[in-house]
Each structure stands twice: as C-alpha cells, then as structure tokens.
C-alpha cells in the first residue's frame, strides 16, 4: 500500500510541474483511495518519462536490501552467547569476509553458525533478502520455540538445526513449496506430534535426521528411498513402511511402538482395525453347525494326507543320494565339481556299507548328505531355491579371479544369480565361517552387493549373489572398445566414485572389528547396475581367506604400510580407494592389481605425481572420458583427493571419513549451486552432538 501511495504521489507531483492544466479524474486507477485525486492530462512527449518511472518503481525488489543489509538485519534478531562471535559482521566490510558467511561468486549462499550459543529468534524475512541462499546451519545452539517458517526460503537445499531446543508440533505444511530441499537435520530437539506429510513428500529429499525428539504417530510413507535416515529415540508407533523395510534396524531403535521389518517385532492387527471383510463373522446358527463340523473334519483329513506325503518323500530322500536326479551333469556342475565330489563321497560311503557303525561315523564326519548340499540363506527378502536348482541351471562363466571362478546361473524362474567359487577360504572353522557370513548378511547399503546365500564345504565354498547387469567397473573402464559399448563420461565416473566411497564408509562404520573392512577394493570388485550405481563386492573376506593366499593376492597386502612394515591399518582401504580414483580418472590399469605383474606397486601413483603440477593437464586424464569443459576444476580436485588417499605415510593419509567428505563436495561442473558445504556438516553433526543419539546412519 505504501508503494502504491508513493507511486500516485509521484505521478501527481510530476504532472503539476510539467503538464498543461486540463483536469481529469483517475478514479479507476486510485480506487480505494479517498478523496479522489485530480491530476492533469499527460502531454504526449512526457508519457515515456512517466512510463520509465513506473517501470523503475515496479521492478524494485520488495526487500530492496543488499546481502550485507539483510544479514545485519538478521543479526538484530539474535542473542549471541559467545562474546565477539559475530564481531566481524560489520557493514564496512564485504559480507563474504564475515565469520560463518559462505559465498559463491560474490553472493551469499550459506550461513554456518554452529556452536555459538545463539538464542533469540530467526528472522526469516531478513533471510529471504538473501536471494542466493541455499544452506543454513544453526546446529549446537540454544534456539527454542516452534519451527520458524523456513518454507518462505523456497530455494533452500540444506537445513541443519540439530542440538537446539526447538519444541512443539511442526505444521503439516511446514515444508510445502521447498522442492529443492535435500537435507533436513532436526536431531536432539524437543519436537512433538507427527512427521509432517510435506516433509515426507519432498521430491529431492536425500538425508533426514529427527532422532532424539518426541515425535509420535506413524512413520509417513516416503516417496523414495533416502541415502541417510535416523528416526531413533522418539515415540513412533505402528507398522514401518515397506519402502523403509530394508534399512538398518538402528534407524528405528528407541521407538517401542514400532513393528515390522527390519525389526524383529511382528505387527499384530487389532480387531478394531480389521477391514470389514476380515472382521469376525456373526456366530453361526445351530442349523449350520453340522456344516461347520464337516468342514473341520475335511481340513484335518487333508492335513493328515499332506503330512504322510511329506514323511514318505523325506524317507525316499534319505535313501537316495542328493543331486542324483539328473543322469547328466549340468554345465555348472561340471565347472564347480560339486557333483563329482558328492559322488566320490557317496562311493566311499557305499564301500563301507558292510560295517554299520563305521558307516555312521563317516556320515557324521562329512556332515550328512542333505546338510552338505543345502544352501544357507542370509537374506529373507529373496525367494528361496536349492543348490540343486543352481546345478541344473545353465551356467555362463563370468571370469576367473585369484581365488576362483564366477558363474552366472539362470534359474528356471528366469532369475539370474552369480555363483562365486572360493577354494582358499579355510582360515576359520565351520562355526566361525557361518558366524562371519551371518555378520556380512546383515549389512544393508545401496552400494554393497548383498550376499544372498552360501554353501559350505571344507574343500571349497560358494557365495551366491545378485547379478549386476553392466558387469564390473574394470570391464567398463578398460574393455568398452572391445565390447562396442560407450565409455564412461565424467558425471558417471564421479557418480561411481561417490557410491564406492559411501559403501566403503558404511563398511568401516558397521564392521569396526575388521582392520580392513573391505580389504580387496579394486575395479574388478566394483559392479555396476543398469543405472551405473556402483556395488562393492568381495568385502569383509580377509578373516576367512588363507593368510598365505591373502598376502599373495589381496589388495590390502599391496599397500605401502604392509610392504614396508608388514602391517594393515584402518587406512589401508583408503589407499585402495585412492588407487581406484586414479584408475578411474586416468584410464590406466594399476600394476598392483596384476596377478602376475612384477612391477612396482606404486607405478600409477608415481606416474601421476610425475605429470601432475597441480593444474589441469589433459595428458593425465582418460581421453575416453568425453567432454570435460567446465569440469576441469572438479576433475583436478578429485585427482588431488586420490593422491591424498595414496599417501605412503599412513599418518599423513586421509581418514576414511575425511576422504568421503571431500568427495561428496565435488560436483559435475564448475559453479554448480549444489550444497557442497553440507556434507561437511553431515559428517560433523554426529561428532558434535551433545545428546546420546545414534550416529548418522547411511542407508
């Protein structure tokens, strides 16, 4: 209204000075303003002047504040507990030099105001004057009261409010219109009520932490899977949504009212919640009693008949050797040798048939025919099949590694599985092996290839995994020309590096007892899905592999610390990650991955160090990477990270968390407005937390 009044006054003033005296009434223009204004008609030559004035006034931003003015106005709403914490916020200096102000190309795009004992209020209207604002972090302060109206900042991508004293219910529409928001951290506050549906339906949401609050009600249905989620230590109730059923149970701990997968607590449907068609029918009348009795008797007869059939089949199976249904061995049987081994064992058993007690002893030692041919499943979300089904399947050899061959087996149902054969896996006994496999089977991450099942025999083991459509990263990097497939471009390579780093960090977090949780990270042990999402495989096997073979072939034992000091450390996997990064960027196969190579294990690192001067050098990078314009800075940054991971001095080498943090900051192009600061906050959020919340959980 003030703007309109000023506009009318200006027009009136100009007309009085410059125009002839012919009065007209502008009641249509000034409707609602009394009394009616009398202005003089416009001279033709003055119309452009007034039009320009109108355009100028109407195009002026509503806020009309510079970045420094907006931040100074925002500062007035704060109560700063730490002396001189914001002393640098002075309008005599550029805001990009102020503490906690993050800039990109001269514009303020982030405020990092953590651990400053801040309280008071958060002036959202002042922050709205920062037109390039994309990320806010007020973690570890003393803000209280209800959640501010952050939805006014519709371009925000990251919001970090963990470890404050915000309280009350969050309105259901609190996040409406925030279509760019990717990360929300509300952990360790005092929020109550239900998770707002506007949060669950955010189209780009990737990370969410609400642990350590007092949220109630049911967990909403998220529209897609999240990279990170923590709902622990609240008061949620009800069934866990299906889309979250594959997550780590730690995500939900401290919520006694939750049930369903991945928790062990099953959901009981209350009678009053049954749909009408499932409600208990009315008590039958006496005239229907005979029919009910006949139905019960019929069911019992069917159950008895089925039980007899099952007993007969089991008896026949004990008499007949397993895997003997086919007269001709399948291709997988021939390649794995399982049928032949079982047959030789049966021959030995039959030769001792005359001595019953002796034969019984041999059966116990071998573990029994049925037990020795049974797959042990580690995943409950997979349809069960038997080892016989694998042996009958048509098999295609995928490759032969240092520990055995891998085969693709297509089951009768059409599902493709990969069978990996290990001959050098006798470092632990049967019980220790089974315990370790169960531990690996509990791992859940988008960048890990899950072990679906395993087959144990003293002479060899089989691991059964899902089939990855695009094969290994090594084939995609070095064999694309022979296969006639396009090479990996820069965005795809960056996506692969980020996925590998996330999977490796998860292994280090969930397998803290292993010195090198992966131990064998190389391009042939990274598989690619149809969408080029990387999947780590052959992880966590060091404790099971025969030590002599492990030292001869596994990547961990090629590291500088092992070659020089005969030791493997927590940073050994980081060295493997660095070698992989250099391989992805240069397109050169590392000498340390060659089984029969006698070259220096650091050839690739030495070659890069020799040609790298800290700036873009086209000769260093794989020419198959394609167009790299506007990406050079990000590619060089990744190369520097790779070299830091390959640092020979373990003390100077990056920690796995620091390496992942730096990798997550990288973008596909220069000047990408993505929140490259937010990953730093993601890593530090758990460490700086004053509460007893669960650490950030990657899923």
Going from N- to C-terminal start, the domains of the chain cover 2-59, 67-269, 331-341+370-467, 479-668
Per-residue pLDDT tens for 61-97? 334 578 888 899 998 999 998 888 888 898 888 888 8
Q: How far apart are CA 181 and CA 196, in angstroms?
A: 15
Domain 479-668 fold: Transferase(Phosphotransferase); domain 1 (1.10.510)
pLDDT of residue 348: 41
Once rounded to an integer, what is the mean pLDDT over residues 407-414?
87
pLDDT at 518 over 80: yes
CB-based contacts of 247: which residues, under 8 Å, 6+ apart?
229, 262, 444, 697, 699
Once rounded to an integer, what is the mean pLDDT over residues 678-696?
35
pTM for the model:
0.48
Percent of the chain that is helix, strand, coil (3-state, to 5): 40, 15, 45
pLDDT at 220 over 50: yes
Q: What is the per-residue burial (b if ≥16 Cβ within 10 Å, else e) of 407-439? A: bbbeeeeeeebbbbbbebbbbeeeeebeebbeb
Once rounded to an integer, what is the mean pLDDT over residues 157-183?
94
Closest CA to 658 of 571, 534, 585, 561: 571
Is domain 67-269 given the CATH code 3.30.70.100 in the classification? no
pLDDT at 587 over 70: yes
Per-residue pLDDT tens for 348-371? 444 443 443 333 333 233 333 334
At residue 480 the predicted structure's pLDDT band, cuts being 50, 70 and 90, is low
Percent of the chain residues past pLDDT 70, beyond the cut: 72
Helix ranges, 326-402 (H) = 331-336, 338-351, 356-366, 369-372, 387-392
Once rounded to an integer, what is the mean pLDDT over residues 585-589?
89
pLDDT at 331 over 80: no
pLDDT, the chain, mean: 75
Once rounded to an integer, what is the mean pLDDT over residues 272-293?
47
pLDDT of residue 269: 58
At residue 659 the predicted structure's pLDDT band, cuts being 50, 70 and 90, is very high
Calculate the dihedral angle through the C-alpha atoms of 7, 8, 11, 17, rounding to the nearest 10 degrees: -120
pLDDT, greater one: 287 or 626: 626
pLDDT of residue 414: 85
pLDDT of residue 567: 86
At residue 285 the predicted structure's pLDDT band, cuts being 50, 70 and 90, is very low
At residue 282 the predicted structure's pLDDT band, cuts being 50, 70 and 90, is very low
Instruction: Return the minimum-mean-pLDDT range out of 74-83, 221-230, 424-433.
Output: 424-433
Highest mean pLDDT among 206-220, 366-380, 448-462: 206-220
Closest CA to 191 of 148, 150, 226: 148
pLDDT of residue 579: 94
pLDDT at 230 over 80: yes
At residue 549 the predicted structure's pLDDT band, cuts being 50, 70 and 90, is confident
Highest mean pLDDT among 23-27, 387-391, 439-443, 678-682: 439-443
At residue 308 the predicted structure's pLDDT band, cuts being 50, 70 and 90, is confident
Once rounded to an integer, what is the mean pLDDT over residues 173-199?
94
pLDDT of residue 458: 83
Percent of the chain residues past pLDDT 90, beyond the cut: 31
Once rounded to an integer, what is the mean pLDDT over residues 338-349?
42
Q: How far apart are CA 195 and CA 244, in angstroms?
A: 15
Q: CA distances (Å), 678 to each of 57, 128, 681, 694, 699, in order?
A: 38, 20, 5, 19, 18
Tell me whether the omega of the peptide bond preceding residue 469 falls within 30 degrees of 0, making it cis: no
pLDDT at 379 over 90: no
CATH tag for 331-341+370-467 (out of 3.30.70.1560, 3.50.50.60, 3.30.200.20, 2.40.30.10): 3.30.200.20
Q: How far apart are CA 650 and CA 175, in angstroms?
A: 45
């Amino acid at each position: 209204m003030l703007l309109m009044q000023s506009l009318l006054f200006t027009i009136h003033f100009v007309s009085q000075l410059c125009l002839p005296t012919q009065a007209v009434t502008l009641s249509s223009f000034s409707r609602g303003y009394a009394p009616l204004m009398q202005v003089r008609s416009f001279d033709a030559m003055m119309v452009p002047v007034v039009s320009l004035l109108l355009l100028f006034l109407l195009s002026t931003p509503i806020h009309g504040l510079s970045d420094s003015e907006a931040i100074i106005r925002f500062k007035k709403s704060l109560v700063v507990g730490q002396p001189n914490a914001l002393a640098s916020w002075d309008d005599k200096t550029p805001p990009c030099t102020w503490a906690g102000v993050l800039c990109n190309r001269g514009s303020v795009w982030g405020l990092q105001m953590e651990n400053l004992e801040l309280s008071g209020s958060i002036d959202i209207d002042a922050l709205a004057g920062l037109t390039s604002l994309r990320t806010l972090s007020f973690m570890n302060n003393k803000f209280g009261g209800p959640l501010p109206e952050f939805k006014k900042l519709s371009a925000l991508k990251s919001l970090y409010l963990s470890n404050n004293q915000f309280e009350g219910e969050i309105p259901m529409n609190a996040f409406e219109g925030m279509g760019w928001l990717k990360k929300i951290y509300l952990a360790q506050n005092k929020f109550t009520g239900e998770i707002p549906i506007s949060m669950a339906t955010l189209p780009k949401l990737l990370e969410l932490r609400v642990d350590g609050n007092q949220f109630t009600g049911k967990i909403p249905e998220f529209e897609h899977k999240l990279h990170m989620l923590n709902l622990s230590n609240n008061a949620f109730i009800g069934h866990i949504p299906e889309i979250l059923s594959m997550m780590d149970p730690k995500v939900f701990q401290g919520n006694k009212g939750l049930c369903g997968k991945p928790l062990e607590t099953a959901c009981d449907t209350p009678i009053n919640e049954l749909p009408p068609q499932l409600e208990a029918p009315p008590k039958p009348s006496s005239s229907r009693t005979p029919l009910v009795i006949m139905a019960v008797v019929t069911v019992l007869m069917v159950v008895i008949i089925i039980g007899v059939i099952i007993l007969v089949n089991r008896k026949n199976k004990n008499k007949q050797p397993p895997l003997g249904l086919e007269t001709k061995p399948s291709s997988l049987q021939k390649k794995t040798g399982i049928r032949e081994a079982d047959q030789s064992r049966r021959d030995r058993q039959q030769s001792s048939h005359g001595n019953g007690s002796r034969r019984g002893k041999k059966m116990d030692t071998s573990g029994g025919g049925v037990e020795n041919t049974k797959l042990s499943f580690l995943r409950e979300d997979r349809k069960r099949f038997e080892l016989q089904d694998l042996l009958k399947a048509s098999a295609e050899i995928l490759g032969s590694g240092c520990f055995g061959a891998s085969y693709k087996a297509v089951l009768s149902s059409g599902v493709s599985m990969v069978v990996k054969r290990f001959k050098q896996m006798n470092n632990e006994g049967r019980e220790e092996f089974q315990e370790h496999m169960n531990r690996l089977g509990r791992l859940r991450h988008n960048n890990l290839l899950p072990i679906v099942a395993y087959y144990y025999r003293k002479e060899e083991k089989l691991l059964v995994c899902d089939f990855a459509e695009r094969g290994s990263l090594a084939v995609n990097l070095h064999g694309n020309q022979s296969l006639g497939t396009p090479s990996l471009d820069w965005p795809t390579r960056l996506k692969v590096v980020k996925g590998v780093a996330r999977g490796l960090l998860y292994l280090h977090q969930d397998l803290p007892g292993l010195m090198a949780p992966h131990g064998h990270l190389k391009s042939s042990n990274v598989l690619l899905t149809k969408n080029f999402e990387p999947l780590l495989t052959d992880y966590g096997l060091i404790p099971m592999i025969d030590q002599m073979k492990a030292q001869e072939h596994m990547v961990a034992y090629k590291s500088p610390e092992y070659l020089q000091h005969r030791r493997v450390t927590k940073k050994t996997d980081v060295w493997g990650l660095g070698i992989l990064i250099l391989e992805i960027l240069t397109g050169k196969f590392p000498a340390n991955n060659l089984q029969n190579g006698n070259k220096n294990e650091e050839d690739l690192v030495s070659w890069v160090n020799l040609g790298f001067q800290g700036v873009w050098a086209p000769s260093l990078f794989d020419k198959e990477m394609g167009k790299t314009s506007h990406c050079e800075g990000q590619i060089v940054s990744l190369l520097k990270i790779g070299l830091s991971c390959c640092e020979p001095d373990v003390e100077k080498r990056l920690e796995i968390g620091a390496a992942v943090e730096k990798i997550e900051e990288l973008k596909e192009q220069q000047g990408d407005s993505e929140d490259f600061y937010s990953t730093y906050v993601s890593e530090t959020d758990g460490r700086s937390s004053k509460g007893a919340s669960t650490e950030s959980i990657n899923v």
